[in-house]
Amino acid sequence: MHEVTTSRRDAMRSLAILPAIIAMPAVASAAPMLVCATADQIADARAWNAAMTHYLKAKADGETFDRERLGPQFEAARAKFGEERPFKGQPGWAEYKEWCEASGFSSVMKQWDDMSKAEGDAHVALLKIPAPDMPALRWKLEQTFDDDGEIALWSEKIALTIRSDFQRLLIGESVA
């Protein structure tokens, strides 16, 4: 019979490869994702990431504008005219309209409209782009409901894109 003997040096060599052996299942499970990405999937991910970056910037710009410019203008209007500002045809309308022009409130409101439109356009464009992965699909699905639980899909194209994402990304998944 042969005896199994190991020297201290052999034991230390064995310990050196232990992390690689332990990591093999994780590497093996990640390998298909690393190796099997098609050019279309990479392009989809790049387009998604660019559109998400654009949307997040537009959203952040809007929040900054709201905090730094719009909020103070509304506070100034409240201080001058109270909670209920006059509307066209009501007493005080001419004074209010004049104040809006002189204070820059009208200009700020126009800028706010433009920024809101830009943010909305970026949001819709992002929703129309194919989701490159499950986190992106999850983000899209979370966008489909308003805070009150009502469905917030803005167009059939967005709904069909999300459906296509779902079918493409969940191939082989059991859907209950």
Q: What angle do CA 139, 125, 158 make, to 5 degrees?
A: 65
What is the band of 44 on the pLDDT scale with cuts at 50, 70, 90?
A: confident
What pLDDT, on the 0 to 100 scale, is given for residue 146? 79
Please report the pLDDT score of residue 122 as a whole number. 96
Q: What radius of gyration do the chain's Cα atoms show?
A: 29
Q: Show Cβ contacts of residue 54 under 8 Å, excluding neighbours closer than 6 positions.
A: 122, 125, 126
Q: Identify the band that residue 37 occupies on the pLDDT scale cut at 50, 70 and 90.
A: low
Chain position carrying tokens 């700020």: 108
Answer whether 0.75 is exceeded by the pTM. no
Would you call 150 helix, strand, or coil by DSSP? coil
Q: What separation in angstroms does the CA of 45 have from each of 15, 59, 81, 125? A: 39, 21, 50, 14
Alpha-carbon distance of 66 to 89, in angstroms, equals 28
pLDDT of residue 166: 87
The tens digit of pLDDT for each residue in 49-88 reads 999 999 999 999 999 999 999 999 999 999 999 988 889 9
Nearest to 56 by CA among 134, 7, 118, 148: 118
Between 140 and 145, name the one with better pLDDT: 140
Note the pLDDT of residue 151: 78
* Secondary element (H or E) of residue 44: helix 39-65
Rounded CA-CA distance 175/74 in Å is 49
Beta bridge partners of 145: 151
* CA separation for the pair 167, 176 (Å, rounded): 14
**CB count in 10 Å sphere of residue 130:** 20
